Chain A
Amino acid sequence: QSALTQPASVSGSPGQSITISCTGTSSDVGGYNYVSWYQQHPGKAPKLMIYDVSNRPSGVSNRFSGSKSGNTASLTISGLQAADEADYYCSSYTTSSSVVFGGGTKVTVL
């Protein structure tokens, strides 16, 4: 199972919006609405930010939103803040009954 494709890095200024893409295939991202997104700060465990493409867990800011079109899912962070600087990973369930992660995107707040 190949990893989902994410850009290595995305940057933005405070207050701006950024979007991270996550591209898979019809066997994973395109085949199910089971895409999730995780935020990971250095030395910490990942934190769930979005599940089932566009749902936010309780306690996650509404500045984070998710969407999907075909084989590509996206995470948008609006009103970028310094605390959003972290690594972000997408994941998807697959037709092989496995789970696959993206390679990760480093978000830098300029």
Chain B
Amino acid sequence: QVQLVESGGGLVKPGGSLRLSCAASGFTFTDYYMTWIRQAPGKGLEWVSYISSRSSSIHYADSVKGRFTISRDNDENSLYLQMNSLRAEDTAVYYCARDKLFSDYWGQGTLVTVSS
């Protein structure tokens, strides 16, 4: 069965960095775009970024452009999100999700808290 498991969340100070990982299993990873979506506490969903199957197409939300970098390792069936220059408003649960236009599978999320 399809599984997406995020890790790497935690508490970080403003201006700090964090790298999130998402381990995928149960499907052919190289057949799919992958996406990061976040949800601030008590707020709605916000699309963050997606990456094509061979990493040739990458797009970011304006709110994270220049600070976050999405990547993937198809040999390891893993998706990553490198987050730099973190701000308080980046505090959220970060979900990895399968595909680009709609996400039929989601991970359980990993909480990132940016606070001094």
Contacts and interface: CB of A to CB of B under 8 A. Distances in A.
B106 A98 contact: no
Interface in A49-92: 51-52, 57, 87, 89, 91
A16 to B, nearest CB: 25
A40 B111 CA distance: 17
7 contacts: A48-B102, A48-B104, A51-B101, A51-B102, A87-B44, A91-B45, A104-B44
Nearest to A98: B59
Q: Is the interface of A mostly helix, strand, loop or mixed?
A: strand
B106 A45 contact: yes
B44 A93 contact: no
A52 B45 contact: no
Chain B contact residues (Cβ within 8 angstroms of A): what range?
20 to 34
A89 B44 contact: yes
Contact of B107 (A45, A47, A89): A45
B44 A3 contact: yes
A99 B106 contact: no
Interface residues of A, number: 25
A97 B59 contact: yes
A98 B108 CA distance: 23
Contacts of B57: 97
Given A98-B61, A100-B47, A104-B45, A52 B107 contact: no
B28 to A, nearest CB: 18
B102 A91 contact: yes
B95 A99 contact: no
